[in-house]
Amino acid sequence: MSKKYLYILVFIFSYFHIGSVCSHVDHKQDNMDKYLQDLNFNLPEKIKIVEYINKNKKGVYLELGSGGDSIGEIVDNVDPGLPLKIIVADLDDNVLKSIPKRYPEINKYIENTDKNKLSVELVHLDATNLYVIETSTIQGINASALVHEVHSYSSSKSGLDQFFLESARVLDENGMLIYRDPILQDDAGSPNILVLKESLYKMFVTLLFPKLLDIEFTKIKDMYGNSIKPDFSYTENTTINLHLKHERYRKSMTVAEFIGTPSRHIDFNQDISVVGPRRILSEIERHYVLFLKDVYPCGFIDSTSLQEGKLLSDITPDLARTSVRNFSTNLGVNFGEVLDNKDVSILTMEKDNIREFINRGVEMESTSLLSSNISELFHKKKVDHALYKINDNMIWLDAKLLMLLYNGQGKGILDKFTLINSNENKLPFISMDWLRREGEEYYYYLSMDEFLDYLYRLSDFYFDSIGKGDLMFCPINSDSGVVVSERYLYKNILERDSVQIDMQGEKQDFVVSKAIVNLQLMKKEKAIEIYKKIIANNPDKYTILAASLVEGQHFL
């Protein structure tokens, strides 16, 4: 065997078998500017810590995992003459290094050594291990959209436990933790039906589902090569109903059957419905609207309106104008002019490439040796034979299978196998890169009832271990401790492109809002009284918390 083939063979097996416990930062690396731009979205919501800083007028505050964009706004909204220190922590050194370059105005605070004036410190730090920070030395923590990442890349709940325990350890009594993350639908385990009507939505879910639920090819693994994705038993509790081309009746498929069905056989002109726990439907819905925002903002425009002779600014929903304007400008299409046929083709190219990708899959040049080896690998991984064809000179992969293997342009499988020319310029690389980064992330983990119950029980049982058994995390009060920020554009789009119903056929509201929870580390007695008021204000919503609090069912 030549050294070249030996190298490629080693690559193939290492690519699929070596996991990375650092995957939670890997997805940022390839497109840092875009990643940081996305973090800058809805920035005012991410700096709620400012009101507590201005109220206290002194102290040390911790900014966790913001990508650095929040710090620019924070320093603009506090008095630089006050004795304040803000620690900006991130696990990614590249993010930290980019902050002084993107916000040169904060360099004077980074360099400041006067403890009586505002200073900023950049620290490489894991949110689950704040070891460099001494106990009870922090007055406030800002953790925006961070906890879902801790959950996505940590086994079981250990990452969550450690994050909140570490936060409680470093906070002083009455210190604040401002937590912001998407809201999960209530009664998340109950089955509902999500009917997909828009073709782009159906194609997107076809590519998303294998990536989201995969545990064989995932790189989110522990040191032993085992997947550490959250296990909600989606594959056992979810079915997909669809039409196959040239078949008269709808078919009901398990997740495994759906993934094993060639993408080109699916009839995307017919509705596709996903029947499963409300939790997985929330994941699908949020991934879709974020995909539109980040990758294909023209998806916010009704597809029947996006045509020649239309003024782009007129057909764009008001709440999507900024996203669509930026998208069209980057493609060289004037947002304020009437569209011609070429403009429409440019704007819809990514959607067209997705459709082509699903219909054709991808062909790559191969050799007899490589074909034999990759065939053996697919056999070991129990990949459905319908998703690939292999001969001595060529490998064909279904779009779903390529998404499972895809690790970036010119990387991974696309580095070692050469695309046949007809495929090279038609792959939806922007969508593929987004799915590679976001397709395996779980945006949801607990409903608000589950979350508050979790905090109550974690505090009650484990704060003794950090020397704070008399304290408890709790919303600062029963009325304004939890603030909901609606996403009207996302909700409108989901209502246009789909419908969610319960098992009795009753239409359900889409939940795409975010919660900003103002948590305080307070005396246990005070916290319990606030928890009781929260339950009394909405007993139907907080049944789990009530069971733990009132009936004493304290178990983790």
What's the burial of 6, exposed, middle or buried (CB within 10 Å: 0-12/13-18/19+)? exposed
Determine the CATH number of domain 36-184+444-487+513-551: 3.40.50.150
Which pLDDT score, from 0 to 100, does residue 68 have? 60
Tokens 């997740």 belong to 255
Over residues 301-328, mean pLDDT? 95
Residue 288 pairs in a beta bridge with none
Task: Residue 366: name the closest of 5, 2, 1, 3 by CA.
Answer: 5
Percent of the chain with pLDDT over 90: 61
3-state SS assignment for residue 72: helix
C-alpha radius of gyration, the chain, whole number: 25
Mean pLDDT for the chain overall: 87
Half-sphere CA count of 315, side-chain side, radius 13 A: 21
Above 60 in pLDDT, residue 169?
Answer: yes
Per-residue pLDDT tens over the stretch 490-545 = 999 999 999 999 999 999 999 999 889 999 999 999 999 999 999 999 999 999 99
User: In the chain, what are the domain boundaries?
Assistant: 36-184+444-487+513-551
Per-residue pLDDT tens over the stretch 200-244 = 999 999 999 999 998 888 888 777 788 877 777 888 899 999 999
Pairwise CA distance, residues 32 & 39, whole Å: 11
H/E stretch holding 87 reads strand 84-90
Over residues 381-410, mean pLDDT? 91
Above 50 in pLDDT, residue 77?
Answer: yes
Task: Residue 68: name the closest of 93, 98, 41 by CA.
Answer: 98
Q: What are phi and psi of 117, to 5 degrees?
A: -135, 165
Paired tokens of 82: 């006050």
The alpha-helical segments, DSSP class H, found in 77-216 are 93-102, 107-110, 147-152, 158-170, 199-213
Pairwise CA distance, residues 143 & 244, whole Å: 45
What's the burial of 81, exposed, middle or buried (CB within 10 Å: 0-12/13-18/19+)? exposed
Residue 16 pairs in a beta bridge with none
Above 70 in pLDDT, residue 444?
Answer: yes
Which pLDDT score, from 0 to 100, does residue 181 have? 85
Pairwise CA distance, residues 70 & 64, whole Å: 10
**Are the CB atoms for 154 and 186 separated by under 8 Å?**
no
Using CA atoms, how far residue 505 sits from 195, 274, 515, in Å, is 12, 14, 28
**Are the CB atoms for 391 and 420 separated by under 8 Å?**
no
Over residues 336-345, mean pLDDT? 95
Q: What are phi and psi of 265, to 5 degrees?
A: -85, -10
DSSP class of residue 32 equals: H
pLDDT band at 3 (very low <50, low <70, confident <90, very high): very low
Q: Which residues of 169-303 form beta strands (DSSP E)?
A: 171-182, 191-196, 239-242, 251-254, 272-277
Number of neighbouring beta carbons within 10 Å of residue 122: 21
**Are the CB atoms for 294 and 330 separated by under 8 Å?**
no
Which residue type sits at 512? V
Using CA atoms, how far residue 509 sits from 192, 202, 273, 284, 355, in Å, is 12, 20, 17, 15, 29
Question: CA torsion, points 338, 307, 264, 15, in degrees to nearest 10?
Answer: 20
Lowest average pLDDT, out of 168-177, 373-382, 515-524, goes to: 373-382
Pairwise CA distance, residues 183 & 446, whole Å: 8
Paired tokens of 5: 């083939």
Pairwise CA distance, residues 396 & 130, whole Å: 47
Under 8 Å CB-to-CB from 7, ≥6 apart: which residues? none
Pairwise CA distance, residues 169 & 160, whole Å: 14
H/E stretch holding 257 reads helix 255-260
**Are the CB atoms for 354 and 430 separated by under 8 Å?**
no
**Are the CB atoms for 82 and 94 separated by under 8 Å?**
no
pLDDT band at 92 (very low <50, low <70, confident <90, very high): confident
Pairwise CA distance, residues 106 & 120, whole Å: 8
pTM: 0.86
Task: Residue 193: name the closest of 499, 511, 512 by CA.
Answer: 499
